[in-house]
Structure 1
């Protein structure tokens, strides 16, 4: 089919906010051709008869249709997609499993409202915003939109374009009978000439219409009740539609709407007034409570509503929303498996300390928080979301904590923060693939010999074997973010590491030791060819949150391997060298620095500090004379000492130095 398509000689460019059906109708009228012929020329349709899909074209165009339109008109796919609800209201669109726009999406539904003044200004070309259920006023001409054709009293533009007729832009195409040849007879009334009494829109109605269109054009809205957690356009519109329904019910109880059509449904006046009330209520707590008081019941659905609205409805009922439902319905979309690869099985310690429920095991809480982030916006069960990050976790304990998240009064921000984290992770590319980290083999990680070298280098007791096991578990937690039970024990290890032991090790270990262990983790990744940081976590400021209070660290005091190290207030060899320059002996240096003589001598030898010579002898003895006196003259050490004026001990020391053995006289 594509090979037969040719570029049209003349193309009308779509107006801003113009639906595809209106542009198609204008093209057919301009070229004076039937809608069926134009559809075939554009590559939209090949059937010879039957109604055209003009209403569906204004909702969504598939890739093949867009390619054919680009080929035949020269318009870009962006321009063409903007003529559909899928492109114009991309922030609020929701899809079903087949990839079509969901019937439960706030932008679904058919509407034929129109502004005669706008039709006159544009020569019969319609606006896309008139087709939405929440389009009720023309902010340009300050009037309410007409619901029906003045001639046939039916909503116009709800039927497909006629296949065999040349259309007339701005004319009502509702069927009102059949011609003599059996063809459908359209109404044909010119909607541009509708001079029925125009219903003026008040300032509050126009403000409401502007607020809705602003919400439709922004990815998220953070005004009114949504200020505690910005919500996507689909949820904001869902909240407004619900509140407008409550307000319309109250208005109808007060009296009938004179603008109600014979075809049923709310009239233009009540519809516009209801949306005006709804838009005020999201900024007025008293008005919001008044709407809820008489309209919320056990049958009120939570589907498509924001977490804030769900909480308000539950509060009106006197109940609390289940954490599961809040997480699953807060937003649509997001790949749970891809999100699971971006977070550790145990949520980052900084975030766990901020979000973990009180009086809950820290490891169980961390696993529950990670699984809750995976669960957000999905239709997974608790166990399935946990299984994406840790299939061997204690499922019952973790899922019980997941169900209780946010119930305590001190945990009011837990669920909104989890939702923010989930959406943040969906929007960014994280530097660590935790799915790969969890699958690595950590058998050879930090062997005891390596830990012993680290302990010696940083002057701490190795604490072998227990502290070696804890250090290895700490490095494993840094790399994998997983439970310590997943790490295979070392040969000869006395027992497995408990999470409380590991937490105590991390809190109390000196910072220099923790830095050395982080270097071990970095080298381990380098050895595997993985170019990733050892650890990473999103900062609170990235989510618009205030900085977290630091976790209360332990004293971080370990017994030193050699307590005297550092006792001098700096490196020992520097202080000992300075004492040598002062002329102090080993003994004097040891007394001054509070060290032992052995430590001073060992440090001096290790760093090449020269030793000062000891006490010099007061006199010299001629060894040959001493030998003659001792061996030949047979004199005693006492008599020789008396002659020389020294002690017998000095003579005996000289005799030993000369290799002579003194004896009795």
Structure 2
């Protein structure tokens, strides 16, 4: 076995290292004159790859196991014959059974039978000391981990056998042999143990091997779900805390178990165990606080753009998904996670939104995006310390004189006091990542929140540049230097488009409208424009020439109808048509002959 090192926690599962008795292949004994193979003494040797059959467990005459005790020094053994004492005989010079073991019955198997495939996998791992196939392809595991995994899965499968599934995995003949052996009480109902027969070990390892031999975690989890469902159907507890089923199992198997259990977990637990990632794992106790420090209370709009959640506002989605990012891989509660982000929302509201998102068809993609974003922030934190931003004193943010100056320089009407309050709330959210609707200037009314959501539609790139310039000075006065005013990940998971922060920001309604367009049209996710792009250049990404020609020229839709569908104004669609060289129809109803 080479220089194999066995972890102490795996010793209890390493039953294959020794065996009080030995199985044998009758065909091999017939061919080699009765010579005994060393491999037959391994506990997890249950099939002969040379003759494609199960090994025999005992003498066909006296039904005694072979090589169970050392032979007497006074006995000259005869190769190929049973050396067990006859029943009722005592002493050294007693008569031995002497039955020819080559005539023992053995169950033949097809050359590609799962039992033989699993025996090949075990033999290869024993030869090299490492398991490299199946779920171990990306992260090879030592032989001890493979055996521990086989023990964990095989023991659970044989402890609570689902005969219908086992028939599909092996064959009717193998299961019939297993039932006959169990009826004869050759082994107990304790799973794969020292007293198990070759057919029991073969079935257990074949069923376990079908899971371990999968190409990836997701495929292996799909093959394991029948086992979890059968256990739960029969009233046996299967949860993320007790699903190990054995000591010393590999990280790869634990990932498969957690992924297979995903549908039985709450959304928050799915995020804690990362069940939608390629490597689900147990939560880490100290990952939440550090990640929350670099995370805004409202998740970046572009991340939430494609989230489908009927009956929930866009701001609620952003705040709930920000809490979800904190939950990923941590043991923190919903309440504590919301508190880390400044209590912009509460546990009840977050739970409601996560449940609503979980009911949508795109839920799996949303959770995968959240988990990838958490990993991205852990690997490369954001340049903004949002925990510090949330504690800023913003009482004197955007004085009226500065507001008027910015409006005059950007050609925007300053309006009345209400518009200044809206602008302060908007800039407060932009600087701190905290909801502007909860700023000190906000009015707790649906009308104010609606106007705040619509405000970015009135802003242009000149206003954004001037506001960011003022915000930079404001942050410097608060001893915050070396940080951008606003920021978003350079490459957002599932979005594919880089996000800049220099142009006008889309309103919440505009973002929701664009999300609706993406769902209803055939645009690919990669054609989504950056959330801060503007003008005809951005409109081209939303509405390509081919789509505009089909809608306007062939289907004769109006410019206003097309603009409403794609979240653009009628004037922008007109400019886009001119840029594409598409002639604009004369106004008025079309003439009918």
TM-score, L = length of structure 2: 0.51
Taking a change above 3 Å as real, the CA distance of residues 314 and 18 of structure 1, as seen in their structure-2 partners, is closer
Alignment pair present for 1:519 and 2:519: no
Distance 1:370 1:431 in 2: 17
Shift of 1:540: 4.7
Shift in CA distance, 428/495, structure 1 to aligned 2, threshold 3 Å:
same
Cα distance in 1 for partners of 2:377, 2:531 equals: 28
What is the alpha-carbon distance in structure 2 between the residues aligned to residue 325 and residue 520 of structure 1? Answer: 43
Deviation readout 1:34-66 (Å, 9 max, x if unpaired): xxxxxxxxxxxxxxxxxxxxxxxx44xxxxxxx
> Any conservation in 1 of the 2:326–2:337 contact (CA below 8 Å)?
yes
Give the structure 2 partner of residue 111 of structure 1.
14
Query: Which of residues 301, 326, 331 is equivalent to 2:238?
Result: 301
Task: Give the match for residue 430 of structure 2.
Answer: 478
Query: Matched residues in 1 for 2:223 and 2:446: separation?
Result: 59
Q: 1:531 aligns with which of 473, 477, 482?
A: 482
Aligned 8 A contact 1:239 1:309 in 2: no
Q: Which runs of 5+ in 2 are unaligned?
A: 20-42, 56-64, 71-103, 167-173, 244-253, 275-280, 497-524, 536-593
After superposition, where does 1:4-153 map in structure 2 within 5 Å? 17-19=4-6, 58-59=7-8, 110-114=13-17
1:507 Cα shift? 3.3
Q: How does 1:614-653 map to 2 (within 5 A)?
A: none
Corresponding residue pairs, total: 375
Cα deviation, 1:278-314, whole Å, max 9, x if unaligned, reads 2456649996677677555253513167898778668
Matches within 5 A, 1:395-434: 395-434=347-386
CA contact (8 A) 1:405 1:415 kept: no
1:439 shift after superposition: 1.0
When residues 465 and 302 of structure 1 are mapped into structure 2, their CA distance, relative to the original with a 3 A threshold, is: same
Shift of 1:480: 0.8
Q: What is residue 439 of structure 1 aligned with on the other side? A: 391
Distance in 1 between the 2:450 and 2:121 partners? Answer: 57
TM-superposition CA deviations, 1:516-559 (whole Å, max 9, x none): 21222223233324311222223455679664734889999xxx
Name which of 253, 270, 283 aligns with 1:326: 270
1:344/1:261 Cα in 2 relative to 1: closer, same or farther (>3 Å)?
closer
CA distance in 1, matches of 2:472, 2:45: 62
CA 1:398–1:270 in 2, change beyond 3 Å: closer, same or farther?
closer
Question: Residues 514 and 152 from structure 1, CA distance in 2 versus in 1: closer, same or farther, beyond 3 angstroms?
Answer: farther
| Alignment partner of 1:202 is 2:116 | yes
Match of 2:33 in 1: none
Q: Is the alpha carbon distance of 1:284 and 1:322 closer, same or farther for their aligned partners in structure 2, counting shifts above 3 Å?
A: closer
**Matching residue of 1:272:** 205
Tell me which of the two structures has the higher relative contact order, counting C-alpha pairs closer than 8 angstroms and 6 or more residues apart.
2
Distance 1:263 1:550 in 2: 66
1:360 is displaced (CA, Å) by: 0.5
Distance 1:378 1:215 in 2: 25
Within a 5 Å distance, the mapping from 1:144-543 to structure 2 comes to 202-207=116-121, 215-216=135-136, 218=138, 245-246=156-157, 249=161, 250=163, 251=166, 254=176, 255=178, 256=181, 262=194, 268-279=201-212, 283=219, 297=233, 298-299=235-236, 301-303=238-240, 321-330=265-274, 331=281, 332-333=283-284, 335-355=287-307, 357-391=309-343, 393-489=345-441, 498-527=448-477, 528-540=479-491
Alignment CA distance shift 1:374-1:246 (3 Å) = same
Q: Deviations over 1:256-291 (max 9, x none)?
A: 498965466996434432222224566499966776
Query: 2 CA distance for matches of 1:503 and 1:278?
Result: 50
The two structures, once aligned, show a CA RMSD in angstroms of 5.1
SS in 1 for 2:294: coil
Q: Which of 544, 549, 556 pairs up with 2:528?
A: 549
CA deviations on 1:349-385 (whole Å, 9 max, x unpaired) are 1112223522212222211111122122333332222
Evaluate the alpha carbon distance shift between residue 453 and residue 287 of structure 1 in structure 2; reply closer, same or farther with a 3 A threshold. Answer: closer
Residue 345 of structure 1: how far off its partner (Å):
0.8
Q: Residue by residue, what CA displacement relative to the aligned partner does 1:634-654 show, whole Å, maximum 9, x if unpaired?
A: xxxxxxxxxxxxxxxxxxxxx
For the structure 1 residues 322 and 289, does the alpha-carbon distance in structure 2 shift closer, same or farther, using more than 3 Å as the test? closer
Q: For the Cα contact (< 8 Å) 2:220–2:256, is it kept in 1? A: no
Task: Supply the distance in 2 between the matched residues of 1:354 and 1:526 (Cα, whole angstroms).
Answer: 35
State the 1:481 CA deviation: 0.5
How far, CA to CA, are the matches of 1:238 and 1:547 in structure 2? Answer: 41
- Give the whole-Å Cα distance in 1 for the aligned partners of 2:17 and 2:136: 19
Deviation, 1:393, is: 3.1
Counterpart CA distance in 2 for 1:239 and 1:451 is 69
Q: Tell me the distance in 1 between the aligned counterparts of 2:236 and 2:261.
A: 11
Distance 2:495 2:412 in 1: 41
The higher radius of gyration belongs to 1
Structure 1 spans left out of the alignment, 5+ residues:
1-13, 20-57, 60-84, 86-106, 117-134, 154-196, 222-233, 557-665
- Retained in 1: the 8 A contact 2:296–2:432? yes
Partner Cα distance (1:16, 1:500) in 2: 70
* Structure-1 separation of matches of 2:467 and 2:425: 11
Deviation digits for residues 405-434 of structure 1 (CA, Å, limit 9, x no counterpart): 311224342222222222332333322211
Distance 1:385 1:478 in 2: 21
Q: Report the Cα offset of residue 510 of structure 1.
A: 1.3
The CA distance in 2 between the partners of 1:410 and 1:543, in whole Å, is: 12
Residue 108 to residue 374, structure 1, CA distance change in 2 (3 Å): farther
